[in-house]
Chain A
Amino acid sequence: GAGVSQSPSNKVTEKGKDVELRCDPISGHTALYWYRQSLGQGLEFLIYFQGNSAPDKSGLPSDRFSAERTGGSVSTLTIQRTQQEDSAVYLCASSSDRGQPQHFGDGTRLSIL
C-alpha cells in the first residue's frame, strides 16, 4: 500500500511478557519515528531513525523499550517485561527526510492485562 503500515492493529498480552510491534514505512522514506499515545500523557515521541545515522532514542521511557530498523525500511519496537503502564496506542510515522511532514500509520493498540 501507499501508506505507513503497522501490525498488529491490536495486541493484548499479560504483564511481564515481551511484545514486538512492527512498522512498514512509506517506500523511499528515509526517516522513521515511533510515538506513544495514552490518555494520561498524550502523544509522546519515543525514537527516530534517519537513514544510516544512529537513532535518536531520547524519548524511550525505560531500558525495557528498544527499536531497530533493518535495511533502512521496516522497524520493530520491542517492549520487554511489559507493565500495565505500557498500555497505549503506539504510532509509527515516516517522512521523506528529517523536517518533512510525517505520515502516520493507524497504530497498534497495546493492552497489558
Chain B
Amino acid sequence: AQSVTQPDIHITVSEGASLELRCNYSYGATPYLFWYVQSPGQGLQLLLKYFSGDTLVQGIKGFEAEFKRSQSSFNLRKPSVHWSDAAEYFCAVDVNAGGTSYGKLTFGQGTILTVHP
C-alpha cells in the first residue's frame, strides 16, 4: 500500500529564517501530490499541488515545493518564515492509475511548525 512519510514531527525556526519540510512517498508511479496547512481548530487549506510538468511548483503564502522523482520526495520550502506560518503541515498523495485518480488522499503524519520571534 502507498504511504507518505513526513520525517519531522516538530520543527522550530526563527522568524525570517528559511524553512524546508520533508515529504517522501512510497508508490510505484507518480501520484498527485499536495501540501496542506492546518491552524488549530481549522480545516485544511491547500498550499500547492503537483500533477505533472514543471517539478518546482509555487503555492500560496510564498511557499514552493519541488518534486524529485528519483528520491520520491516532495519537499515544501519557504525562503523567509513569518510568525503567522506557525501551524501543522500535511503532505498528501492522491494515487492514480494512468492519470486517473482514485480520489482519496493519503496523508503524512504532519509536521508542527513553531516560529520564534
Contact = CB atoms under 8 A, between A and B. Distances in A.
Bound together: yes
Interface of A: 4, 31, 33, 35, 42-43, 45, 48, 50, 56, 58-59, 91, 93, 98-99, 101-107
Contacts of B109: 42
Contacts of A99: 32, 94, 96, 100-101, 103
A93 B46 CA distance: 11
B43 A101 contact: no
**Residue among B43, B90, B92, B94 having the largest count of chain A Cβ atoms under 10 Å:** B43
B103 A104 contact: no
A102 B46 CA distance: 8
A104 B44 contact: yes
Contacts of A93: 44
Given A42-B110, A99-B32, A99-B94, A106 B43 contact: yes
Interface in B17-67: 32, 34, 36, 41-46, 49
Interface secondary structure of B, over-half rule:
strand
Given A99-B94, A102-B105, A103-B46, 7 more contacts: A42-B108, A42-B109, A43-B105, A56-B103, A58-B104, A98-B102, A99-B32
A59 B102 CA distance: 13
Interface of B: 32, 34, 36, 41-46, 49, 90, 92, 94, 96, 100-110
Given A99-B94, A99-B96, A33 B43 contact: no
Contacts of B36: 104
Most chain B CB neighbours (cut-off 10 Å) among A93, A98, A102, A106: A102
7 contacts: A31-B103, A33-B105, A35-B105, A42-B107, A48-B103, A99-B103, A104-B45
Residue of B34, B107, B109 with most partner-chain A CB within 10 A: B107
